[in-house]
Structures are given as structure tokens and as C-alpha cells.
Structure 1
Amino acid sequence: MAAEEGSRAGEDDLVLAATVTRRHLVAGESKVDIAADLGLSRFKVARLIDQAHAAGLVRIEVEDPRGSSERLAQQLQERLGLRHAAVVDSTGRSPTPGAVGEAAARLLCGLLDPDDVLGLPWSRGVHQMVNALQSLGMRPPPVPVVQLSGALATGSEDSSTVDVVRRAARVLQGGRTVFFAPLVMPDADAAATLRREPSVTAALAAADTVTVAVVGVGAWSAGSSTVFDAVDATTRREVSRAGGTGEIAGRTFAAAGDLVVSPLDERLVSLSGDQLRGIDEVVAIAHGPDKVEVLRAAVAGGLVTSLVTTSATAELLLG
């Protein structure tokens, strides 16, 4: 009987502690006022508040005024060592490609200086970013735009690499360097012949001048990489056997972020792996669970320095 009475007394103390703490922390009443109202000493009120904390009755949350997306972006920068990050809220829904493209456009405009040279290959994310640059009426500094890869027919986007570069150049008003060629040729000899064309040679050489690039990152799997989807089964196996798990502008890399060499490289009309590594700022636009590991690899290998993604993907990267 005494034990039951002691238990009830303990519960009553916790109820009183919760009441006092709620009035103090939530309602903002002073300890003195609470003590006077309840007929307690202010020291008793202070002890009850301490008791509520010790019993785990108090949970304090401080919301960042910048919002969850900004917090995730900051955490990505700190945890992954990124220079810049932009996160699009995807809580409870899938963000539209336009929302991701808009975030990329805003980040790009904040990065560009008048002495920069922008490089763009084909990717769905780059396509959406250029759409946003046009529709938002942004006014970044005038910089030249260089095409970094040949065209790739995806069947889902009404835009070629040349078109992407031309439209970006209209906004940036700094001139453009383009060439007409597929990204992947049927064989190495055909690709070598095409790369010797003066316009193609000059455009690919201009990749050496690029200081900022915006790229897509694909996992080497169906539906995650437009290059994977465009090549034959033999080529897919060759890249996988070489250790390729991800792809940027056709250049494949391994799980540790190292560029890999496979027969695919000889068939590409694109900037070289060394040129990609030589670009000071490479912004990746990528999201989805299939992109998490390859994004980690690309960042760890120094192929990507900044990232535009969704909150769902950011949480997976941080996890």
C-alpha cells in the first residue's frame, strides 16, 4: 500500500513539474508569478522545472529561419566538403524538373564572374537549368559559353547540346563555341575522324579555357544515364568490367571517384577526363536514390565541387 502511495506521489510530482514547466517555457510566465499562483516557493518552482528536464518531459526545437532546405544545403557543404550546394524541397512529393533547374540557375548566376568561361555538356538537368535562365529573366555577368560534349538523342527532351549552349549564350551574352557531332560514335575510327574536323578540334580545345561547368551525373545503369541508355550491351559490360559506376559527359568513373578507361572513351566526342578534372568549379545537377553513391564518388574523386539536388537525396547523402 505504501509503495502504491509513493508511486502516485511521484506521478503527481511529474504532473506538477510538467504544468509548471509548460507555464514557464511555453506561456512565458515568470517563476515568481507561477510560485505565487500555486502557493509554492520560487525555489520549488525551479526544482520542478529541473525535474521535468531530468525526466525527459522537455524537448526543445529551434527552427532555422532559413528553412530546412537551406539547412540541408549547409550540411552537405560541411559533410561532403562541397563549395556550394542548393537543395530543392521534396518533402511529400517529387519536385518538378523546373524547380531543380531554377535552383541550379540561381546558383550559377551567383557563381559567375565576368572573367569566367562556362562549359555545358548535354544532360537533362542542364537542359532544365537553361530553360530557367531564360524564363526567369536573370541577368548574370556576360561570359562565353563552351559546348563540352556532342549531341545525344534522348527521345524525351526537345533540345540538343548545341541548342542548350545557344540558348544559354543568349542569356549570358558573352559569345559561344559550338560544334555539330554526336556524343557517341559507332566506333573509335569514326570518332577519331570526326575529332579531327577543324570546328570540332577547336571547340574541344576550348574546354581548356572553361572555369565553371554545369553537368549531370548518371549512375551506370538503365534509366539513370542517358549515355548508358544510348550504347549497346557490349559497351555497357565493358565499362562495368573496367570499374565504371558513374558517368559525366560520357566520361566514366569508379566507386572511389577515379576516372576509368574503357573502349567507350575512344568513341566519345566530348571533353577529356583530364579536361574535366582541370575545371575549377563543376556544379552537378542530380537527384534520386540511384544517384546517391555515384554523387559521393564524384565528390570524393574531385570531379564535382558543388551540387544542386533535392531534400530527399540530400538526406540520403547525409545519412
Structure 2
Amino acid sequence: MSLLTKVARMYHEQHIRQPEIAQRLHISQSRVSRLLKEAVNLGVVRTIVVTPPGVHSQLEDAIRDRYGLADVVVGGDDGGSDGGDLDDNALLATLGSAGAAYLETTLSEKDDIGVSSWSSTLLAVVDAMTPQRTRLARSAVQLLGGVGDPSVQVKATHLTDRLARVTGAQARYFPAPGIVARKSVRDALLEDPYVSEVASAWDALTVALVGIGSLRPSPLLQSSGNAISDKDQDSLRELGAVGDVCLHFFDAGGALVDSELEERVIGISGAQLRAIPRTIGIAGGARKVDAIRAAALGGWIDVLITDVGTAHRLVD
């Protein structure tokens, strides 16, 4: 036990490499390795991870395990741990910073990223990203046309353009409205050569970056004209819808709602979206808790990036 403790202290406290320990103590390096393993097994050496402020590993693990997600990132400080709400600006800053850090560390130059229509949350993420010297992605492809007022639809293109710039990717825009009046109009637009060419790229995507919408739009979204009509909202509410990803509306359990609106959306299909290896949902705030929970339960997202207050609501 004395030799074991001495070896453990030399290696872990004095940071002496195994070959030098073996030379100093006149024992073989293989014996040094065996003693170090035995020290761990006997509890002589114990590894303790001290979580720094602003890191919420246990909360992230709890959400990941509860909802079967691949990964969870919780941003913000512990001030929101009591479930208190951040104001809109603070929430956007928190989600933007957390989302940017995640993308900058997990994207690769071979990734083809799909990005959903304009949202203030996704725009906050890409605005918080720092352009890199090396390319972070191969392409950035728009997944959905702009929604609402045509004068506002340009923001969907702006989001894709900004993401392409900060990642060094090639931008591919989707020149179509997000919702049309009839299914026949949607089918006709999808036959346009340029529209169909962009749509064909959806099957090769490796990452999707999406917002998670609640059925009740934010005041900002409503006032901007970038939201679905009140009539469509009422119809979806009657069917039990609580939220959407890329305008695919689902109920509280995450099941797709069979609505007439589904046939009028011009964008990536639900099946194509689910087939993407990694779909990253970024959303937070009390208004969106039900939608976020349903998106996770229904398998619409693989990774969730959210704020502390929302995270606590998801595990309570």
C-alpha cells in the first residue's frame, strides 16, 4: 500500500510521467500502470469534477435522459433556477450565446446545414457567432420559405446568408413563400426548376438548425407580419396543436397534427426533417415550454439549446 500511494502521489500530485516514476523507483513501467489502476479501484485516487458557475451539467443530463435527446445545452446563470423569466432581450442574448458556442465547437467542414425560416432566436445565434479562419460547414440551405407579409419574407433569406457567412459555407436560398392559399399552388411552385433544385439538397443535410414555435406567436412575430393567420391558429388549436418545427404542427405528445395547413406549407417535409442526423432546436421562455416539451417527446429535435428557467420547467 505504501508503494501504491507513493506512485499515485507522484503521478497525480507531482505530475511525474510514468516512465520517470518507473526509473526513480526502479520498477517496471507496466507495474506503475497497474499500481495506478489499483489506486483508483481501492479509492486511494478519486476523481472529482467541480462544476464552474454558469455550467449546468446535471440539469442538462436530466433533460437529456428524460426526453431521450442526444445532447442538451443550458445557457445563462443560476439566477433563473427558480423558474423566473428573463425579459426578451436577456433571453435572446442567452440563447444566442449558448447556440453560437455549440455550433462553433460541433460543426465540421463537411456539414451541410439546413436552417429554418426567420426567427429572432436563430438570428441571435448566428449574430453571436464569430467568423472562423477555417470553414465550419460546406453549405447552408434554407428549409422553408418566408412566412407572412412578403416584405418580411426577405428575413428568411437574410438568416441563411448570415449563417453562410459566419461558417464559410455556400448559401442556398429557397425562393418561395412558406405558406400558400391552396395545395395546388404549393405543388406548382415546387415544380419550378430552381425551387426543386434547392429542395433536392434537403435529403443530403447532416445538420438542421431550427426554432421551436408555440401556437401563440410572440408579439414581435405577430406585429412583424411574420406569423400564420388567426384563422389557421384557431383551426390548429381545435386539433390540439401546441407548437411547430418548420411549420409542422404537433400536439402535446409530439404527434403531427393532421391539419389542412400541412398541405399548404412550402418547405422540408416532416419525414425529411426527421431523417437529418442532427436537428438542433433552439428555444426558451415560459411561452414555449409546452412546445419545447412536445418537440422533444415527438422526436422533432435531437439537440436542445435553452435557458435555465425553461430547463427547470422541463424537468419539474
The answer, yes or no, to whether TM exceeds 0.5 is yes
Kept in 2: contact 1:287–1:310 (CA 8 A) = yes
3-state SS in 2 of match to 1:302: coil
Return the alpha-carbon distance in structure 1 between the equivalents of residues 154 and 282 of structure 2.
17
The counterpart of 1:82, out of the listed 63, 66, 69, is: 69
Which position in structure 2 is the counterpart of 1:160?
Answer: 155
1:264 corresponds to 2:261: yes
- The runs of 5 or more residues in structure 1 that have no matched partner are 1-61
Return the alpha-carbon distance in structure 2 between the equivalents of residues 224 and 314 of structure 1.
23
The counterpart of 1:97, out of the listed 63, 87, 92, is: 92
What one-letter code is carried by the residue in structure 2 that aligns with 1:209? Answer: A
Kept in 2: contact 1:141–1:172 (CA 8 A) = yes
After superposition, give the CA deviation of every residue in 1:66-110 in whole Å (9 maximum; x if it has no partner).
335423223322333322222222526542513311210111122
Which of the pair has more CA radius of gyration?
A: 1
Which position in structure 2 is the counterpart of 1:128?
Answer: 124
Return the alpha-carbon distance in structure 2 between the equivalents of residues 225 and 284 of structure 1.
20
Structure showing greater relative contact order (alpha-carbon pairs closer than 8 Å, 6 or more residues apart): 2
Which position in structure 2 is the counterpart of 1:305?
Answer: 302
Q: How does 1:22-171 map to 2 (within 5 A)?
A: 64-71=50-57, 72-89=59-76, 91=79, 93-94=86-87, 95-122=90-117, 123-133=119-129, 136-138=130-132, 139=134, 141-153=136-148, 160-171=155-166
Return the alpha-carbon distance in structure 2 between the equivalents of residues 76 and 156 of structure 1.
39
Q: How does 1:291-302 map to 2 (within 5 A)?
A: 291-302=288-299
Kept in 2: contact 1:120–1:165 (CA 8 A) = yes
Shift of 1:264: 0.8
**Residue correspondences, number:** 256
Shift of 1:140: 5.2
Which position in structure 2 is the counterpart of 1:197?
Answer: 192
Shift of 1:281: 0.8
After superposition, give the CA deviation of every residue in 1:149-208 in whole Å (9 maximum; x if it has no partner).
101357998961111111211222231221222111233232222222111111122111
RMSD between aligned residues: 2.8
What one-letter code is carried by the residue in structure 1 that aligns with 2:210? Answer: V
Kept in 2: contact 1:112–1:140 (CA 8 A) = no
TM-score (norm 1): 0.72
Which position in structure 1 is the counterpart of 2:252?
Answer: 255
Is the alpha carbon distance of 1:130 and 1:148 closer, same or farther for their aligned partners in structure 2, counting shifts above 3 Å?
same
What one-letter code is carried by the residue in structure 2 that aligns with 1:295? Answer: I
Return the alpha-carbon distance in structure 2 between the equivalents of residues 165 and 275 of structure 1.
19
Return the alpha-carbon distance in structure 1 between the equivalents of residues 221 and 184 of structure 2.
23
Q: State, as a whole percentage, how many aligned pairs show the same letter.
A: 28
The counterpart of 1:176, out of the listed 166, 171, 181, is: 171
Structure 1 stretch 151-160 or stretch 282-291: which is displaced more?
A: 151-160
1:221 corresponds to 2:221: no
Structure 1 stretch 113-122 or stretch 73-82: which is displaced more?
A: 73-82
The counterpart of 1:289, out of the listed 246, 261, 286, is: 286
What one-letter code is carried by the residue in structure 1 that aligns with 2:66? Answer: R
Kept in 2: contact 1:69–1:311 (CA 8 A) = no
